[in-house]
């Protein structure tokens, strides 16, 4: 299907914590390829292992078995600091450094690599996430939740990453902010030519943003479909149970919009 090698490859990955196998319980572990430029959603219930699998990419979790290849190289063989500069990371906790200004937060990755980001670049990154350049000097506790996560996204993009990985990035935001930020990230994905992997438990979000949806259940990869195929009923029972929720909600909402006609 792909002519170029994939940007990211999970090759028989298993993650065990003591007696618990979080990822890859069966024979062979979890294997899958993520192509350049794709926007992949990793969906599953709580405890399905999706976050754990995602964190093997930037080695916040080290797999007990198998390998994760980034651009053909085993991630555990790369220097963590260098790897994490090439992989932007956005997560639910946001984790802005409270003692750093917005600008310092955004510039931290390049700073660790010995590079000082000029104010123009900070302003440019703020503009990418639709924040006024004046925010650069603010402290994180002066921002709203949505603004903080925008800064979080800007920080992930500051090093010019090839891959953006996101762990429930909008989980703690209100629905309006969540929708706006989701669209923004999808837009950035297009304009910056990123490859994006997003973990979410919200199938609707996955279907609307991603062009490929991976479904995990009890540590195993149980479906790998396009949103359209999932909506058409593909992907097996677990995926369908997840997909049925937004589909039914959409049908009920649509039904409300159709005026009730007498005798119909």
Question: Which residues of this chain interact with another protein, rule CB under 8 A?
Answer: 58, 60, 80-85, 89, 91-99, 108-109, 112-113, 139, 152, 155
CA dihedral of residues 177, 90, 186, 112 (deg, nearest 10)? 120
Cα separation values, 57 from 5, 31, 70, 130, 207, Å:
17, 13, 8, 28, 23
Report in angstroms how near the CB of residue 44 gets to another protein at its nearest. Answer: 20
Report in angstroms how near the CB of residue 77 gets to another protein at its nearest. Answer: 16
Strand-strand pairing, 195-200 and 39-44: parallel
Nearer to another protein, 29 or 109 (CB): 109
Nearer to another protein, 148 or 212 (CB): 148
Nearer to another protein, 48 or 105 (CB): 105
Report in angstroms how near the CB of residue 234 gets to another protein at its nearest. Answer: 34
Contact 60, 53 (CB under 8 A): no
3-class DSSP assignment, residue 49: coil
Nearer to another protein, 89 or 135 (CB): 89
Report in angstroms how near the CB of residue 72 gets to another protein at its nearest. Answer: 20
Nearer to another protein, 2 or 82 (CB): 82
Report in angstroms how near the CB of residue 61 gets to another protein at its nearest. Answer: 10
């Amino acid at each position: 299907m792909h002519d170029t090698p994939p940007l990211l490859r999970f090759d028989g990955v298993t993650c065990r914590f003591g007696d618990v196998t979080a990822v890859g319980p069966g024979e062979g572990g979890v294997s899958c390829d993520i192509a350049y430029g794709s926007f992949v959603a990793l969906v599953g219930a709580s405890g399905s292992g999706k976050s754990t699998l995602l964190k093997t990419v930037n080695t916040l979790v080290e797999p007990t078995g198998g390998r994760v290849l980034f651009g053909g190289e085993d991630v555990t063989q790369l220097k963590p600091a260098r790897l994490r500069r090439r992989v932007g990371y956005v997560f639910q906790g946001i984790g802005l450094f409270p003692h750093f200004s917005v600008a310092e937060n955004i510039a931290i990755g390049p700073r660790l690599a010995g590079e000082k980001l000029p104010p123009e670049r900070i302003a440019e990154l703020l503009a990418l996430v639709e924040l006024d350049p004046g925010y650069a000097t603010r402290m994180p506790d002066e921002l709203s939740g949505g603004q903080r996560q925008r800064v979080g996204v800007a920080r992930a993009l500051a090093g010019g990453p090839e891959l953006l990985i996101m762990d429930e990035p909008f989980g703690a935001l209100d629905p309006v902010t969540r929708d706006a930020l989701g669209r923004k990230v999808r837009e950035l994905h297009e304009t910056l030519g990123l490859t994006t992997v997003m973990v979410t438990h919200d199938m609707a979000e996955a279907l609307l943003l991603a062009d490929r949806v991976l479904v995990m259940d009890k540590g195993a990869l149980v479906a790998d479909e396009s949103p359209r195929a999932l909506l058409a009923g593909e992907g097996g029972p677990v995926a369908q149970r997840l997909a049925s929720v937004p589909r039914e909600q959409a049908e009920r909402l649509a039904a409300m919009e159709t005026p009730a006609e007498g005798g119909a």
